[in-house]
Structure 1
């Protein structure tokens, strides 16, 4: 393939591979209505998401401490990781159906996704640094769309057996990894082998331009995945108030999460004009206002409530690529992949705490919409963090 053509297709291929790989993330949530009656385990709703997050945390820590994204060709790391994640995603289908095997499968899927999401960000940082905010917008938008994709499959074909859905998602992920490996080259590795030094952990707390971006990202993560995990529950609660015109839970969940791709892409273009920091702050403020107003808007007609959810979904996800841009920009070049992976690991640990706290409150008090105010500290603290420095970055 000529170099000029390769340069033009490089970003679309990375985006497509990221979409395909991250479609594994919420595949378990999409089939939960099918398998939960078979398992008779009411706690599965919170843990099926947290299992992926915990696996991802373990994977990112190992990838970072071993400096895997910086020591080996990036596209090879991506391909091997997505193959293993896809295998883990369907492994439980060949075993007796038990909650333990499902959760172990989800944890292993998350573990190997550590070589997909952060490594895709490293590829974008390697190849598109002059327009990194825009490139990250497309890349994280692909992650958001991939996350929503299993909900679309279920919403369009409610009779689709859960086995077929899981196999289809794994096949998509493998295809994306192979395409990336064939089309996108890895940047040359440093002549001196990179090792992730534990002393580098100090950079996470030392005063610098890096720290506000990291703290803003952590606030964003307190909200995002808990919203995604409990979105079907929220829409179900809305439907109990609007029995005459209920929303399709799966399709509305897909549209709400997928709206985040639009937020990511538009935010990426906005970052070229006003900087990543300001875009992230404005979107954090918007998602925080959506959280604040949520209980008051449950009485809206279905179409207007779905539009509100789409605005919330766009804002809640749209700041993520700009935080990734800021973190990638300020991370040391020689350990960028490991630093991105480590920060991502901590961010996902925060999601587990948030999800399990919400799950415990739901179990105690029922599906009350007021419980979503638990997530308000995330946007609030995130806004405070990124407001400490208003430079055009």
Structure 2
């Protein structure tokens, strides 16, 4: 019985016993009142019944608490057993190391590296048996030959993802993406492909490959829409390599008439990893007429004046940025106003739901994601028809 119920039980018992004592005293004094005696007995019975009910209720509560504690102890014991088993497994792995997930990742990266090299390197042109081509013709053919897969069933696909202007719902820009696919239907999507390319040291080759195939598509799109831009991702390893940046810059210089339609997109976290060589690479892209964009931006510590001086004009945020489910916070509204005053364009990336689209319209001007339209594969000859126009213009 709980301590807080003692006063109630004691009071009921004493009150009932007092009633019985009064009745007994009246009987002993010879003044028997049957009604009073019956009332005393009834009061005694009611008091005892109340005591029994109170004790039963308290006992039931104690049993419930005990049962819940036993269940909790049983669950805690199971978790403890699982933890002990996991510790034993980790200790066994530490004593007897074997090929694990790290070895699988390393093997995967090596396999992708070989695939990338086969995909990026151009084919050597075949010489006909009847007549050998001139050296300058052979060199020109090799430079004009597009990068294709050799002796492999894998191939890189260029995709375009629409960037939507939220106020009008129209496609304003495109994002260039790369997927690695094979003839069996297996696809390594863009985000995973870039991650593995960074880990395997093949990011510069992929960046150059994407730029080479995105420029003809951009040229054709600008025939119908002169203000069209294409966002092309670029990695920190590419920017930090003088040799790779020289190759990228050479490609832009050869296509200088559409350079202002290129937007090189760098992840915000990679910007902090760039040293002087990488910063010079960004500045070189800006001098060639290209625009810069930051993706996965974190507002904390963001220096907008320095970014604008560097050539950054687009800031991309995830759908959760500045929205806790009740609309943008005051701090976010202030940041957006400041960014617009600095002439930055806010993009909300990866929109998948209507609620995210509604929140994005209160924060940014542009957005992209599966809610609007999925990325579409670009035909291999998408940029072919733009070449004659360029030749006639020259």
Pick the TM interval, shorter chain.
under 0.3
Which has the larger share of strand? Answer: 2
Which has the larger share of helix? Answer: 1
* TM-score between the two structures when normalised by the length of structure 1: 0.24
Which of 1 and 2 has higher RCO (CA within 8 Å, sep 6+)? Answer: 1
